[in-house]
Amino acid sequence: MSARELSHHPAVAIDLWEARVWYTRIDPRLATRFLDEFWQSVEAACEAPERWASDDRGKRRIRFASFPYLLIYQAKGSSVRVLAFAHGSRSPDFWRHRR
């Protein structure tokens, strides 16, 4: 992973845990693949944060390749802050208040 400082909104851990539990119930191997894809997305955001387009507030989204999830983050200087981890069918702005 890059030398960027990584932080996250506290709710991200809860969102991730709930999704992991869901996939574990289906198949533990699926949960492992899911977590791998999550961490790959985080690493990609840290390595090249400007690669994904930003909205009018500087927030960016990475769409997972194999799962219906988005990683929403904001990059400032040498830091990346993960604001949300969301299922693609969830209300698109549920996380907007997060900083």
Q: Is residue 65 part of a domain?
A: yes
pLDDT in tens, 34-86: 999 999 999 999 999 999 999 888 899 999 999 999 999 999 989 999 998 88
Supply the pTM of this predicted model.
0.84
Q: How far is CA 82 from the centre of its chain?
A: 6
Using only the alpha carbons of the chain, give its radius of gyration.
13
Provide the number of structural domains found in the chain: 1
Residue range 15-25: mean pLDDT, rounded: 94
One-letter amino acid of 39: W
pLDDT above 90 (res 1): no
Q: Is residue 37 part of a domain?
A: yes
Q: Is residue 97 part of a domain?
A: no
Query: Six-digit token pair at 13?
Result: 């851990």
Cα–Cα nearest to 70, from 59, 56, 80, 78: 59
Cα–Cα nearest to 60, from 30, 46, 68: 46
Contact between 38 and 44 (Cβ < 8 Å): no
- Residue 42's domain is classified under what CATH number? 3.30.2310.20
